[in-house]
A and B are shown apart, each in its own frame.
Chain A
Amino acid sequence: MTTTTAPAVAAEVTAPKPLKRRKRGGGYKLFRVTMLVLVVITFVAPIIWMLLASFKTNVDIYNPAAAFNFTPTLGNYETVFGQANYTQYIFNSFWIGLCSTVLSLILGLPAAYSMSRFVMKKSAALVLLARVIPGVSLLVPWYFIFSNMRMVGGYEVLILSHMFVSLPLIVYIMMSFFDSLPIELEEQAQVDGLTPIGAFMRIVLPLSVPGIATASILSFIFSWNNFMFALVLSGSRTKTLPVAIFDFVAYASIDWGGLMAAAVVVTVPIMVIALFTQKYIVSGLTAGATKG
């Protein structure tokens, strides 16, 4: 992402004054390339290390001399998918992420729309409060309530707890998105005979697809990566990937290879989703800014 957008921005900024651009020539270029390389290395190196380590034995992982020169093994992946039941955990993570996102959209879109159109500052602040309160402080009361309701260990409690994160996120992203939509469109629709709700459903929502996509993807990623809620509220049947990954850390032995293979399994789907949808993420995030 950085590599593709940076030159475009630079060109845009400097285009009207080509002379100046020529002046700062070599030094600036070198600086830019160095910084880009540094950033890319910083972000990509841990992922490469994880990927390489997932094909190594424990003894090679610890050996700096075997950083690139080693005999690859598929044993770690066999452990992950054979003994460790990861297909179930992948499904759990996926299902909980999907349900919490869809439900948050159903509740969050109308909420964000009304907060944007009717200027409900206090309600908006209340929603923001949910983002400010540290989730960990809610764990004990949540556990107490849900265990009395005999819900701990089920999917529904995990979906509800993840909605606590995704709902405010969706509301906030969509609020600024709706703010940027010209109100004249809706007025026009009402003149043409639509009710306010009809205008929201038929005019505003279809125009907001990029924003909705951004919010859903971010919400899904948050849910996919959530560890804390799942640790306490999931059962052995509903364990999600971030919790399951710790199965490779045992007392007096750590299976680094298995851990890294599991980390790859956790990371790859989300990276693929992000790669294919980055167009939406970028356009959604910047939409408010350019139209504002």
Chain B
Amino acid sequence: MKHQSMFKAVGVTAAAVLAMGALASCTSVSAGEGSDTVRVTLANHVWTDIIKDRISEFEKDTGLTVELTQLGEDQLSDQYNVKLNAGTDEIDVMMYRPLQEGKLFAQNGYLADISDRVTANSDWNWDDFQSGPVGATTWEGSVVGVPTITEQEVLYYRTDLLEAAGLDVPATLDDLENAAKVISEDNPGVAGFVARTARSAAVTQFSSFLYSFGGDFIKNGKSVIDSPEAKAAYEYYGGLLNNYGPENVSTDMSWPEAAAIFAQGNAAFYTDASSLYKNLTEAENSTVSDSVGFAPFPAGPAGSKPYNVPSWALGINEASPNQDNAWKFIEWATSPEMTLDIQEAGVPGARDSVWADPAGTASFPPALAEAVAIGSETGVGYDRPLVISVAEAREIVGAPIVEAITGGDVDSVIADAHEKFQAFLDGENK
């Protein structure tokens, strides 16, 4: 008897589950053409947090409903890969990384052409956007995205250590090497310099060194990572970490690990993206929050040429039947007023006007705002090879960085990487 009642219970539960499933399928709303629901997919970011808090304003003004999905960077990529590949029409607005995925998405026809939309409203003012980021969201002459967040490589340093050593803030890469040497010798246990060391993750931060030495990844469709300039850059970046980096430096560090070494007070200099500064300047993240200095990227033989890139942009899914309303959301989220508000919260925007406005730079540490402004002027609009399979390309051009950090035979690894990279480019250009 007892078991019979158990089976009954199982049966009832099963019936309930099935009924619930049937009910749920009936209630799911389909958001089709001209639907009042805009489905927006955004990455976890301070920018997103601010937008999320203010979505109700947008809903009130337009009468539309926003259905927001928010995911981490890698999870977002995975989801796009599956969903866009399956031709989904369940995403209207998508936040994407123009340099990492832009070319792939545009080539596959995932991103709608919004060239006419961006120029339609003069108040919204498309001309206000910085040319570097705009270049990255343009594909074969068509605008496919609106840049939202920019970043530049800057030099972070410890003001107290520099003062104690009686050194000036390094203006050139030679000064930087010298200062790293002096400080690491004077302060046992403190590294002169720290930066990303992982093969793929380091590529973007290495790019500013490469440009400042006069090198590049690709020239006229050919690999130029074996040029004398590129070799010098590889050797400089790796040498700095090998000679003055943290002891037994791991070759698996991305920004969280490198920033942590600096934030724990174990390094004097650190080069990375301007967007990371709060990891170093907020007391809850950093033990040296009071003594962090900011400087423009030091000049190399070819001058100071940090990257100045749009890390994120908003685009419209080509397969979306609700593109008009999707554009309304993008127009609202990237308006001059909204960009200024977001920049005041510390997220660097892509509009020139917000950088010209004192209110737009007031929230940044003054030295950082200055470094960013200089970087925006002298910067290069990309921080990784501009190809379709970016992840694969990063693995190839990143190999000599790791070799240089470990003090190995850099020349032969560069020659090998150059050959592979050329073969890779030939394959993509077929």
- CB within 8 Å of B: which residues of A? 57-59, 62-63, 99, 102-103, 105-106, 139-141, 143-144, 147, 149-156, 159, 201-202, 205-206, 231-232, 235-236, 243, 246-247, 249-254
Q: How large is the interface on B (under 10, 10 to 19, 20 to 34, 35 or more residues)?
A: 35 or more
Instruction: Say whether A59 contacts B30, CB under 8 Å.
Output: no
Q: Which 3 A-B pairs have the closest CB atoms?
A: A250-B44, A156-B21, A144-B86
B304 to chain A, nearest CB (A): 22
Contact in complex: B14, A140 (CB < 8 Å): no
Query: Quick check: is B115 within 8 A (CB to CB) of the other chain?
Result: no
Q: Which residue of A lies closest to B288 (CB)?
A: A59
Our count of residue pairs bridging A and B at CB distance below 8 angstroms stands at 115
A59–B285 touching, CB < 8 Å: yes
Q: How far is the CA of A106 from the CA of B15 in the complex (A)?
A: 11
Give the contacting residue for B73; candidates A63, A140, A236, A249; CB below 8 A: A249
Partner of B69, one of A202, A236, A250, A254: A236
Known pairs A58-B285, A156-B20. 6 more at Cβ < 8 A?
Answer: A59-B286, A63-B264, A99-B17, A153-B28, A154-B28, A155-B21
Q: Is B78 engaged at the interface, CB distance under 8 Å to the other chain? A: yes
A62-B260, A62-B264, A155-B21 known; A140 and B86 CB under 8 Å?
A: yes
> Can you list 21 A-B pairs with a CB-CB distance of less than 8 A?
A59-B264, A59-B285, A103-B14, A143-B88, A151-B28, A154-B25, A155-B20, A155-B21, A201-B7, A231-B75, A232-B83, A235-B69, A246-B72, A247-B44, A247-B70, A250-B43, A250-B72, A252-B45, A252-B46, A252-B273, A252-B279
Complex contact B45–A250 (CB within 8 A): yes
Q: Hey, which chain B residues are within 8 Å of A150, CB to CB? A: 25, 28, 30
Measured CA separation A251–B149 after assembly (Å): 11
Known: A147-B90, A232-B78, A236-B68. A57 touches B17 (CB 8 A): no
**Contact between A251 and B312, CB atoms less than 8 A apart:** yes
Residues of B within 8 A of A235 (CB): 69
Q: Which of A105, A155, A231 contacts B79 (CB 8 A)?
A: A231
Given the known interface contacts A140-B86, A147-B88, the answer about A58 and B20 at a Cβ–Cβ threshold of 8 Å is no
Question: In the bound complex, what is the Cα–Cα distance between A252 and B97 (angstroms)?
Answer: 13
In the docked arrangement, what's the CA distance between A246 and B14, Å? 32
Main secondary structure of the interface of A (DSSP, over half): helix
Measured in the bound complex, the distance between the Cα atoms of B44 and A231 in whole Å is 15
**A143-B86, A249-B73, A253-B46 known; A59-B21 Cβ under 8 A:** no
* CB contact under 8 A between A156 and B24, given known A62-B260, A140-B86: yes
Beta-carbon contact of A152 and B90 below 8 Å? yes
Query: Cβ of B45: which chain A residues have Cβ within 8 Å of it?
Result: 250-252
B119 near A: Cβ within 8 Å? no
Q: Distance (Å) between the CB of B392 and the closest chain A CB? A: 19
Task: Report if B142 contacts A (CB, 8 A).
Answer: no
Q: Which residue of A lies closest to B87 (CB)?
A: A144
Interface flags, B15-42, vs A, CB<8A=1, else 0: 0010011001100101000000000000
Point out the residues of chain B lying under 8 angstroms from A152, CB to CB.
90
A206-B3, A231-B78, A232-B78 known; A102+B10 contact, CB < 8 A:
yes
Which residues of chain A are within 8 angstroms of B264 by Cβ–Cβ distance?
A: 59, 62-63
**B107 CB–A CB distance under 8 Å:** no
B117 touches A (CB below 8 Å): no
Min Cβ gap A271→B in Å is: 25
B72→A249 contact, CB < 8 A: yes
Q: Which residues of chain B have a CB within 8 Å of any CB of chain A?
A: 3, 7, 10, 13-14, 17, 20-21, 24-25, 28, 30, 43-46, 67-73, 75, 78-79, 82-83, 85-88, 90, 255-256, 260, 263-264, 273, 275-276, 278-279, 283-287, 311-312
* B68 neighbours in A (Cβ, 8 Å): 236
Question: How far is the CB of B48 from the nearest CB of chain A, in Å?
Answer: 8
Given the contacts A139-B82, A140-B85, A246-B72, A151 and B25 also touching, CB distance less than 8 Å: yes
**Residues in chain B near residue A246, CB distance under 8 A:** 44, 71-72, 75
Select from chain A the residue with minimum beta-carbon distance to B67: A236
Which of B78, B79, B284 has most chain A Cβ within 10 Å? B284
Closest to A246 in B: B72
Contacts of A63 in B (CB 8 A): 264, 287
In the complex, A159→B21 CA distance in Å?
A: 9
Complex Cα gap A201–B4 (Å)? 9
- Complex Cα gap A99–B260 (Å): 43
How many Å lie between the Cα of A171 and that of B27 in the bound state? 33
Given contacts A106-B10, A253-B278, contact A59 B79 (CB under 8 A): no
* A156: contacting residue among B3, B10, B25, B285, CB under 8 A: B25
Of chain A, the residue at the smallest CB distance from B260 is A62
Instruction: Give Cα A252–Cα B275 distance, bound, in whole angstroms.
Output: 6
Neighbouring A residues of B73 by C-beta, 8 Å = 249-251
Complex Cα–Cα for A206 and B256 (A): 54
* CA gap between A202 and B260 in the complex, in Å: 63
User: B residues within 8 A CB of A236?
Assistant: 67-70
B88 to chain A, nearest CB (A): 6
Q: CA A260 – CA B67 in complex, angstroms?
A: 28
Q: Which residues on the A side are within 8 Å of B278 (C-beta)? A: 252-253
Please, how many angstroms separate the alpha-carbon atoms of A287 and B275 in the complex?
58
Docked CA distance A250–B72 (Å): 6
List the A residue with the shortest CB-CB distance to B17.
A99
Point out the residues of chain B lying under 8 angstroms from A159, CB to CB: 17, 21
Which residues of A are found within 8 Å of B7, using beta-carbon distances?
A: 201, 205
State how many angstroms separate the Cβ of A267 from the closest Cβ of chain B: 19
**Bound state CA distance, A128 and B45, in angstroms?**
42
Distance in angstroms from B73 CB to nearest chain A CB is 5
Across-interface contacts of A205 in B (CB, < 8 A): 3, 7
Contact B83 A106 (CB under 8 A): no
B86, A102: Cβ atoms under 8 Å? Answer: no
Q: How far is the CB of B333 from chain A (nearest CB, A)?
A: 16
CB distance from A224 to the nearest CB of B (A): 17
